[in-house]
């Protein structure tokens, strides 16, 4: 699949195995999620553009490489919040926007209840984060919102995805790169990813 990247680093695989386990505590789940998000950001950022700038060390002046663009992390509320700290630990200068969506009970289509972004959204690299890519409906809606806000470079980062969701996103936004820790088998009849890891928001915040 074009523009779909599965990050199969051994540490990511190991920590994902802990997150999948239904017996993992809320504390350990959040800690592993932070660590996976940071590892994924490290892998993804290897392709970020840099520019040369001059600085002065304690010894002399020299040219160094710095990131060419601002990095903006945009979590889809609420589960996406669980990935922000891990990425900001690696990129502390990153700014953070937010997208809040809910599903209309009649149409089943995602509706926006909150959207706020830093002004750099139009020129920066946006890391759109949400742990689960299931049906793809929320992700497509979030990308639509970002594009309407002026975002031009959007990269999705998630833990596990289903083929159905990937297909839907690629049909709507084929240029958006999709980075996952694992590509799972399918969706079940309730729309959950199989084997998946359950309701990620509930497991992050201990609400179930």
> Which residues belong to the active site?
103, 107, 199, 202
Token code pair at residue 47: 């392709």
| Angle value at C-alpha 40, between 36 and 44, nearest 5 degrees | 175
Helices (H) and strands (E) in the chain, counts: 6, 13
CA–chain centroid gap for 208, Å, is 23
Which residues are CB-neighbours of 195 under 8 A, at least 6 positions away? 20, 184, 185
DSSP code for 22: T
């Amino acid at each position: 699949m074009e523009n779909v990247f599965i990050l199969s680093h051994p540490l990511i695989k190991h920590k994902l195995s802990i997150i999948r386990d239904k017996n993992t505590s809320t504390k350990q789940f959040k800690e592993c999620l932070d660590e996976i998000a940071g590892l994924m950001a490290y892998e993804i950022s290897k392709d970020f553009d840099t520019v040369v700038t001059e600085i002065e060390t304690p010894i002399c002046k020299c040219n160094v490489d710095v990131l060419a663009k601002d990095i903006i992390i945009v979590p889809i509320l609420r589960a996406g919040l669980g990935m922000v700290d891990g990425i900001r630990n690696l990129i502390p200068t990153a700014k953070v926007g937010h997208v809040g969506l809910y599903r209309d009970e009649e149409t089943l289509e995602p509706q926006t209840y909150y959207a706020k972004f830093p002004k750099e959204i139009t020129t920066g690299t946006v890391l759109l984060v949400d742990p689960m890519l299931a049906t793809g409906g929320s992700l497509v809606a979030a990308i639509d919102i970002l594009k309407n806000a002026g975002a031009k470079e959007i990269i999705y980062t998630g833990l596990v995805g289903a083929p159905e969701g990937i297909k839907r996103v690629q049909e709507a936004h084929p240029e958006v790169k999709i980075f996952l820790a694992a590509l799972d088998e399918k969706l079940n009849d309730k729309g959950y990813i199989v084997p998946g890891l359950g309701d990620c928001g509930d497991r992050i915040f201990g609400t179930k």
